[in-house]
Amino acid sequence: MKKVKIVHTADLHFDTPFNEVDDKQRAINKEELKEVFKNIINFCKEKQVDILLLAGDIFDNLTLNRETIYFLENVFNYIKETRVFISPGNHDPYNNNSFYKLIKWPENVYIFKDKLEKVYIEELETNVWGAAFNEKYVRESLIRGFSQNNKEINIMAIHGEISSSSEGNEYNPITLKDIKESGMDYIALGHRHNFSGILKEGNTFYSYSGCPQGRGFDETGDKGIIYGYVSKGVVELSFIKTCKRNYEEVYVDISNLFGYEEVIKKILDVIKEEDRKNNLYKIILKGEVSEKFHIEEKVLKSKLVRDFYFCKVVDKTSIALDIKELSKGYSVKSIFVKNLLKKLQEAKTDEEKDIIKMALKIGVSSLSEAEVNIDDY
């Protein structure tokens, strides 16, 4: 049985602004993203990959560094034996203002520019299908009503959001019915930044590879590519980790602790040293603390810098209150706390509850004669 060796990746978002980190880290992250992609290219070369599929959002926005253009021209030239197929997505639609028109693409690179089309690779007995976003939003499925039934291997690269409702979405709302009826052997999807697993609908296998390197704390955990074989009606595909470092979000309960030293010890106990030295961490403090312990996020972060590659601190703790004692009193603090607790019980949404908890924390700190800086909240 004929087998085609593929790599599937998507959502690189070159020259993304990396808004969650400082300027120094931003510059490092941009270069590391290129390093990760160069490693993917080297992997294709080493494994003698037949087809590299890029399912959209190669570029992030309307700004692109000239060095990135040169970088892409060079890396694709390095794998001339591999056929590369790109299906532009919502961040990098193919149109008159597209960055795709600025790059001198090597002959082994094919960019899908409009509606669904195919490229037949005779020596592989394979059809590669794809389509492009031409604007930021595509409100109707680009593969709706499409069906293919032939003896060749059929692979598709496309950017879109799988829709489970009749309402659809604005990002090429592909349905499971579209996938099932497509007749494809494998559909390489882009748009979601997490690996979906290798899924199947009818006789068609499909998956989101996710992004190969996280870009923020909304993209936590291992990131990578999909690698393996596609043949007629069968796939042998697996997830390969490619990210140089992970974004991680960790909740640390500091209930009953007092002072920065105790908090730091707890944080270092929770997160392994090897992980701290390599990954980017968002440390979210939770639990109940004394009203006399005022946590300044910037101060705590400065004390943690030497123990982490990168970290940011978010204080989500609440004040430990002696409700019985406060309910007996008639001081300003007691009245304030009782009123806020009543509002908290009446709150209907999580957002409303969070606002009341923040007000309670600021108010108690202020009434306890602790210095309050509103910027910390």
Q: Exposed, middle or buried: residue 308 (CB in 10 Å: 0-12, 13-18, 19+)? A: buried
* Domain co-membership, 315 together with 362: no
Per-residue confidence (pLDDT) for residue 330, from 0 to 100: 75
* Domain co-membership, 68 together with 124: yes
DSSP structure string for 93-138: --STT-GGGTS---TTEEE--SS-EEEEEGGGTEEEEE---SSS-B
* Domain co-membership, 79 together with 198: yes
* Domain co-membership, 227 together with 282: no
Q: Is the pLDDT of residue 146 over 60?
A: yes
Number of helices (H) and strands (E) in the chain: give both, helices first.
Answer: 9, 19
pLDDT tens string 285-329? 999 998 888 899 999 999 999 999 999 999 999 888 766 666 667
Q: Is the pLDDT of residue 83 over 90?
A: yes
* Domain co-membership, 235 together with 261: no
Residue tagged 């532009």 (tokens): 88
* Residue that terminates a domain, selected from 241, 259, 293: 241
Mean pLDDT along residues 241-256: 97
Tell which wins on pLDDT, 372 or 355.
355
* Domain co-membership, 270 together with 346: no
* Domain co-membership, 197 together with 269: no
Mean pLDDT along residues 125-147: 95
pLDDT tens string 272-291? 999 999 999 999 999 999 88
Mean pLDDT along residues 119-145: 95
**4, β-bridge pairs:** 230
* Residue that terminates a domain, selected from 194, 224, 241: 241
* Domain co-membership, 46 together with 89: yes
Q: Is the pLDDT of residue 377 over 50?
A: no
DSSP state of 79: T
Share of the chain above pLDDT 70, in %: 94
Per-residue confidence (pLDDT) for residue 238, from 0 to 100: 98
* Domain co-membership, 268 together with 373: no
What are the contacts of 120-125 at 24+ separation with CB within 8 A? 120/152, 121/51, 121/83, 124/2, 124/4, 124/50, 124/51, 124/153, 125/2, 125/152, 125/153
- Cβ neighbors of 299 (< 8 A, separation 6 or more) are 260
Mean pLDDT along residues 83-110: 94
**Which stretch of DSSP H or E encloses residue 9?**
strand 3-9
Q: Is the pLDDT of residue 373 over 90?
A: no
- Find the DSSP H helices in the chain: 23-47, 66-78, 176-181, 260-270, 273-278, 297-304, 323-328, 332-346, 350-367
Count CB-CB contacts under 10 A for residue 132.
26
Query: In angstroms, rounded to a whole number, what is the distance separating the alpha carbons of residues 193 and 14?
Result: 14
Per-residue confidence (pLDDT) for residue 21, from 0 to 100: 87
Closest among 148, 140, 145, 133 to 186, alpha carbons compared: 148
Tell which wins on pLDDT, 308 or 346.
308
Q: Which range of residues forms the domain containing residue 366? A: 324-377
Per-residue confidence (pLDDT) for residue 319, from 0 to 100: 80
pLDDT tens string 40-81? 999 999 999 999 999 999 999 878 888 999 999 999 999 999
Return phi, psi of residue 11, to 5°.
55, 50
Tell me the pLDDT band of 124, cut-offs 50, 70 and 90. Answer: very high
* Residue that terminates a domain, selected from 271, 290, 320: 320
Radius of gyration for the chain, computed over Cα atoms and rounded to the nearest angstrom: 26
* Domain co-membership, 204 together with 296: no
Share of the chain above pLDDT 90, in %: 74
**226, β-bridge pairs:** 8, 239
Tell me the pLDDT band of 374, cut-offs 50, 70 and 90. Answer: very low
Orientation of helix 350-367 relative to helix 332-346, angle to 10°: 170
- Whether 42 and 87 have beta carbons less than 8 Å apart is answered as no
pLDDT tens string 182-206? 999 999 999 999 999 999 999 999 9
- Whether 146 and 178 have beta carbons less than 8 Å apart is answered as yes
- State the CATH number of the domain containing residue 179: 3.60.21.10
* Domain co-membership, 216 together with 73: yes
Q: Is the pLDDT of residue 239 over 90?
A: yes
**Number of folded domains in the chain?**
3
* Domain co-membership, 72 together with 182: yes
